[in-house]
Amino acid sequence: MARMKFLCDAERCIECNACVTACKNENEVPWGVNRRRVVTINDGKPGERTISVACMHCSDAPCKAVCPVDCFYQTEQGVVLHNKDLCIGCGYCFYACPFGAPQYPQAGNFGTRGKMDKCTFCSGGPEEDMSDAEFRKYGRNRLAEGKLPLCAEMCSTKALLAGDADKVSDIYRERVVARGFGSGAWGWGTAYQTKNGQERDQLRERKQGQ
Amino acid sequence: MMRGWVIVVGCAVLLAGCQEDGAPRPIHIEKGVYQGTPDTPRSEDELRALQQRTATQRF
Amino acid sequence: MLVKKRSTAAGGRHLSRSLSAAVGSVTGATVDRRAFLRTSGLAAGGAALAATMPFGMVKKADAASAAPAAAGAPVKQVKTICTHCSVGCTVVAEVQNGVWIGQEPGFDSPINLGAHCAKGASVREHAHGERRLRYPMKMVNGTWTRITWDQAIQEVGDKLLEIRQKSGPDAVFWLGSAKHSNEQAYLFRKFAAFWGTNNVDHQARICHSTTVAGVANVWGYGAMTNSYNDIQKSKAMFFIGSNAAEAHPVSMLHILKAKEQNNAPLIVADPRFTRTAAKADEYIRFRPGTDVGLIWGILWHILENGWEDKDYIAKRVYGFDDIRAEVAKWTPAEVERVTGVPGSQLRRVARTLASNRPGTLVWCMGGTQHHIGNNNTRAYCVLQLALGNVGVTGGGTNIFRGHDNVQGATDFGVTSDSLPGYYGLAEGAWKHWARVWGVSYDSLLARFTSKELMERTGIPVSRWYDGVLEAKENLDQPESLKAMVFWGHAPNSQVRLPEMKKAMEKLELLVVVDPYPTMTAVLSDRKDNFYLLPAATQFETYGSRTASNRSVQWGEKVVEPLFEAKTDHEIMHRFAKKFGFDQDLFKAIKVNGNEPLVEDITREWNRGMWSVGYTGQSPERMRLHMEHQATFDKTTLRAVGGPCDGEFFGMPWPCWGTPEMKHPGTANLYDTSLPVAEGGGAFRARFGVERNGVTLLAEGSYPEGSPIKDGYPEVTMAMLQKLGFDKELTAEELAVIQKIGGEKIGAVSWTTDLSGGIQRVAVKNGLNPPGNAKARCVAWNFPDPVPIHREPLYTPRRDLVASYPTYKDTKSWRLPTLYKSIQDRDVSKDYPIILTSGRLVEYEGGGDETRSNPWLAELQQDMFVELNPFDANNAGIKDGQMVWVEGAEKGRVKVKAMVTERVGRGVAFMPFHFGGWYQGQDLRGKYPKGADPIVLGEAANTATTYGYDSVTQMQETKTTLCRVTAAV
């Protein structure tokens, strides 16, 4: 078993937002907090592309590196999780994250920030698996139920893939071969690979942004 | 004199509040080390099932 | 650079601020159960209302808050179908203790393979139902007041009977719904028949009526010819007026697959650069309302180069020479003058379509909602016929229907021009259904004012307000409309809302039967005789629904109706009882308490729907298909092994004969490569056998295994006798046929034989029950036999009006219908911008349900208008600014400007799902407490204008004129 990864195939993503509402549905995420979003490049123009973005569960997670209270941990499968009992809602992770994943519910009437909330790869948190406490703090633990993140499992065009990285790569590679080109695996360089990969991603974004 | 005592007692009280087991979170942070409750790891069988399930997304 | 979609226009700051207070500390600290509920998405939108919620309501919603499955009680998985668009996605609901706690992907469904769009992925919000209409309401002196069901039926029933007595049954309009199940749709049409009127209609009128009529008049049936799955086999895909990526997102699963595995070029023709266009290999931007010119422009290149399929045309197409004559006029120069598309692009498109066959052609409301909609749909068909693309896998006209059961509701005749099964309204049709219903023809006749009115097409929903406002002397019925029953229909999906408002206020009685109050509840300023009755959704009942590809899927009940909602069939029963015709209406249908047995309704339509082949799909067979979804191939839809081996998923109609005959259904219509018994077919012989000495029957083309190697008319008893097949009828079948035929037994046909014997014997011997004819390029019974271009009624191109004028004013569908007098009035100076409308992925229809769902509402918080930067700059309008969009008939809407190149110069676009605002005024306070949708906005149709299709009365929403000015 390799690690868990997300992959968004930009050739397939049609900006339907199923991933967003599936996440809300499965985890009862409140209004104003978006663990997953769909972003668009060149909206309304030739070259328009969309990508579904959430925590990518990076190999060398910057959020984890900058957290002043070390509330993050990474599972054996590479899923980056955090402990809300330790989180102080400082917001450092938001600045460090290249994907804008961390979310902060407004905690009080004076706009104070609550505990950070983000995609858990549908695998809950450090509370007991599938317990009430886990669900309330982190949402559903689908991995413990033998299922994968609902956003990917419900994706309208199977653009968003989640699961065992080798299998995900296989599925994507088959598509690339069928298409005869491959440029859609957005964010993989940044999340899982080397510095070069990150530069490749940025270059691609710049090109598409033109 | 009295004021000195107040400060000393006050400091003692404050320090007592910093006892590790009395606080809701770790006080001594070792940079880069997660000290919260450990999560339950997934078993080999569960992981195999998840690997299998990944294939349902092929289309 | 990443840009948040619609970040500027759809900020919705005021809303998010007012809601954020309710959000609180969510996923963080420990919260009690109530607090958790408050913080969950549902209550985020409704916290302000919590105080006003009745106690029972709180309890229910509390029970509905999702707790993890570990709570002890067993979790049951229930399979049903999504209630939004027509793709027919399987929804797998997890239910515990009667509460819908989770939603899982339906991976086994051959249609959606587990996939959903934003709407489908959020249907579990039904379990919360926070903004539902909770109990019957009555308006008393301008205030919504709670009443009981008994009181509601009593009062509404008395008032309706009084109107019937005073003004006749035609003074009541029964507006049904594409949200009914097949059983409810069938029952609704039957109910209207017993009431004694043809003033019954539904959404199909305003979405695909021009398709149904247009396409049926080309080759027999007005439906999607192939399936979403079959597109996987296309070598080219041509989309016109369809934004599948937003309106039918899961269809893109199959479309993008074809693009990938077949390298099939995707061509999108649309005035807007849609999200579907973003995935296209070729995008054609053309002027709204010039579809015929565009299609003839493509066909011009095909004919010029001899790329048409001459063999196919000779064997299977009638009247193609008339098309050649019309197309010859559409030279590249003329096409560019009219549509704005350069000839070189259309030559490239023509070559792509010609060299990548079979190709599919997809259209939606961009093509249908025009005053020449029936011309558009027929032109599309002709293009596919010229390419030889119809009746083949990978080809066809794949018309994506709109609602989850709009195909079914159309098939079951919730329309003012036909009884169920497209039997029409002539005496023969009434006699057929009287036999099925087990009542006498005379007893039905007695329910109507006269035989003439019984056989006269009723008022279409698109014109109901004209039926109220028009002087009765101008109507082809004795009285104008006095009562309106909105049974699952949002008013804001219809044009000319200011006129509708007037009509609503003039009515003697206005009734809404719906899970949500809809904009009907707030649009008018009525003070009394106004009722809201809470209906159950399809998740709260069970039965069958027909997807766009004609597959009939059985959905099971997920939860009991919320609050005091009742199922449509139960409400119909209660009214029937009140009106005194319940015994006749439910003669062969068991009624438990007040609830008619769904399976009995299915079995009844099984016994009558011969003309469409809705006879083989018994409840048992449909349930078996749902249970064994995994055994169906995800491309062909055919089961491989298992108990449904060889059958097509959902037995897409026609599924000939009785259920016992086990016909597999027909995945692709008119496909001659298969025997009829295995799903093959041929164009329907619907228009006679010859015209002016030219045959209308196929020549040398026939379904595989046909005993007749040529065309033949529709199958009748006389034909079976002539061929000697009548000997194969059983004694029972023959007895039924004799009873129906009497003296003229030979005239009993495949559509009127209630025994199914004629169909059984025909199919067994390789005959297609509807015959084997040619497709018709010339619909001689239509105003424009050959489809021609006519300028929109409100056109900015006054220079083209002389060459392409509209029709003369006329009277149709019981009403005066204007064309020329509207077009003659030149308003293009004051209203220079073309206004068009369409869908957003997050919302559906009038949007009351989806705008009440917080998971969806959060994604689209503001009504907006898309404007090209050129027009915006000329008008001094900035992105995100509030503007007035004023239509050419002076209806005004105040919306946010979204400045984008998505629309071309001179074109503005508005989504039509918003409602709850009227001409700048927020009507939130007029909703019953707690039932106001989270997001409100101006209805686009406040600004739209007059214009109706010459055949079907389809409304013109896609091309009108407006002006846009900054709102101060």
Fold exhibited by the domain C137-207+406-608: Rossmann fold (3.40.50)
ipTM: 0.93
Which of C467, C442, C551, C520 is closest to C110 using CA atoms?
C551
**What's the average model confidence in pLDDT over C801-806?**
98
Return the residue matching tokens 């469904």. C109
Q: Which of C26, C114, C253 minimises the CB distance to A105?
A: C26
What pLDDT was estimated at residue B20?
57
Say yes or no for a CB contact (<8 Å) between A143 and B42. yes
Please tell me the distance in Å from A119's CA to the nearest CA on chain B.
Answer: 16
What share of chain C in percent tops pLDDT 90?
A: 92
Q: Using one digit for the tens of pLDDT, what is the confidence trace for C661-678?
A: 999 999 999 999 999 999
Residue C38 has pLDDT above 60, yes or no: no
Q: Using one digit for the tens of pLDDT, what is the confidence trace for C395-418?
A: 999 999 999 999 999 999 999 999
Q: Using one digit for the tens of pLDDT, what is the confidence trace for A134-181?
A: 999 999 999 999 999 999 999 999 999 999 999 999 999 999 999 887
At A199, the pLDDT band (50, 70, 90 cuts) reads: low
What pLDDT was estimated at residue C53?
33
For residues C27 and A105, the answer to whether their CB atoms sit within 8 Å is yes
Please tell me the distance in Å from A3's CA to the nearest CA on chain C.
Answer: 23
Cα angle C765, C766, C772 (rounded to 5 degrees) comes to 130
Which of A39, A160, A171, A120 is closest to C105 using CA atoms?
A160
What share of chain C in percent tops pLDDT 70?
A: 93
Q: Is C48 at the interface with chain A, CB within 8 A? A: no
Q: Is A131 at the interface with chain C, CB within 8 A? A: yes
Joined tokens for residue A66: 């900058």
At C128, the pLDDT band (50, 70, 90 cuts) reads: confident
What pLDDT was estimated at residue B31?
83
Say yes or no for a CB contact (<8 Å) between C257 and B59. yes
**Which residues in C lie closer than 8 A to residue B56 (C-beta atoms)?**
105, 107, 114
**What's the average model confidence in pLDDT over C202-219?**
97
Residue A111 has pLDDT above 70, yes or no: no
CA distance C540 to C562: 8
| 3-class DSSP state of C344 | helix
What pLDDT was estimated at residue A201?
60
Cis peptide before C358 (omega within 30 of 0): yes
In this structure, the number of other CB atoms found within 10 A of the CB of residue C18 comes to: 12
Strands (DSSP E) found in C503-660 = 509-514, 530-534, 543-546, 552-555, 591-592, 595-596
Residue C618 has pLDDT above 90, yes or no: yes
What domains appear along chain A, each with residue ranges and CATH number? 4-209 (3.30.70.20)
At B30, the pLDDT band (50, 70, 90 cuts) reads: confident
CATH of region C798-966: 2.40.40.20
Joined tokens for residue A52: 């579904």
Alpha helices (H) along chain A: 18-27, 62-66, 92-96, 132-138, 150-153, 165-179, 188-192, 195-209
For residues C814 and C470, the answer to whether their CB atoms sit within 8 Å is no
Q: Which chains touch B (3 or more CB pairs under 8 A)?
A: A, C
What pLDDT was estimated at residue A113?
75
At B23, the pLDDT band (50, 70, 90 cuts) reads: low
Burial of C699 from C-beta contacts in 10 A (0-12 / 13-18 / 19+):
middle
* Residue C93 one-letter amino acid: A
Say yes or no for a CB contact (<8 Å) between A83 and B34. yes
**Shortest CA distance from C115: residue in chain B:** B57
Cα angle C702, C706, C709 (rounded to 5 degrees) comes to 55
Joined tokens for residue C913: 């799902």
Which of A80, A77, A55 is closest to A3 using CA atoms?
A77
Fold exhibited by the domain C209-399: Dimethylsulfoxide Reductase; domain 2 (3.40.228)
Q: Using one digit for the tens of pLDDT, what is the confidence trace for C240-252?
A: 999 999 999 999 9
Q: Using one digit for the tens of pLDDT, what is the confidence trace for C776-795?
A: 999 999 999 999 999 999 99
CA distance C111 to C12: 36
A152 secondary structure, DSSP code = H
For residues B37 and A128, the answer to whether their CB atoms sit within 8 Å is no
CA distance C918 to C36: 36
Return the residue matching tokens 């609503």. C504
CA distance C758 to C844: 42
> Of A78-87, C48-57, C70-79, which one has max mean pLDDT?
A78-87
Joined tokens for residue C135: 């109990």
What pLDDT was estimated at residue A204?
56
Q: Is the pTM of this model over 0.90?
A: yes
CA distance C867 to C879: 9
Please tell me the distance in Å from C490's CA to the nearest CA on chain A.
Answer: 23
Return the residue matching tokens 């330790």. A86
**Which residues in C lie closer than 8 A to residue B59 (C-beta atoms)?**
113, 253, 257, 634
* Window from A179-188, C536-545, C880-889 with minimum mean pLDDT: A179-188
CA distance C560 to C545: 19
**What's the average model confidence in pLDDT over C125-140?**
93
**What's the average model confidence in pLDDT over C365-390?**
98
Pick the CATH number of C13-128 from 2.40.30.110, 3.20.20.70, 2.20.25.90, 3.90.550.10: 2.20.25.90
Burial of A196 from C-beta contacts in 10 A (0-12 / 13-18 / 19+):
exposed
Alpha helices (H) along C765-833: 820-823
Which residue ranges make up each domain of chain C? 13-128, 137-207+406-608, 209-399, 666-776, 798-966
At C6, the pLDDT band (50, 70, 90 cuts) reads: very low
What pLDDT was estimated at residue A184?
60
Q: Using one digit for the tens of pLDDT, what is the confidence trace for A29-41?
A: 999 999 999 999 9
**What's the average model confidence in pLDDT over C97-114?**
97
What pLDDT was estimated at residue B17?
57
Q: Is A3 at the interface with chain C, CB within 8 A? A: no
Q: Which residue has the higher pLDDT, C6 or C358?
A: C358
**What's the average model confidence in pLDDT over C221-228?**
97
Say yes or no for a CB contact (<8 Å) between C2 and A29. no
In this structure, the number of other CB atoms found within 10 A of the CB of residue C344 comes to: 10
Q: Which chains touch C (3 or more CB pairs under 8 A)?
A: A, B
Joined tokens for residue C454: 């019984």
Angle between helices C320-327 and C291-304 (to 10 degrees): 100
Say yes or no for a CB contact (<8 Å) between B56 and C107. yes
**What's the average model confidence in pLDDT over A20-28?**
97
Residue C459 has pLDDT above 70, yes or no: yes
Say yes or no for a CB contact (<8 Å) between B56 and C253. no
Q: Is C157 at the interface with chain A, CB within 8 A? A: no
What pLDDT was estimated at residue A120?
98
At C33, the pLDDT band (50, 70, 90 cuts) reads: very low
Which of C222, C55, C262 is closest to C612 using CA atoms?
C222
Joined tokens for residue C214: 């247009």
Give C 214-253 residues with CB within 8 A of chain B: 253
What pLDDT was estimated at residue C58?
32
Average predicted confidence (pLDDT) for chain C:
93
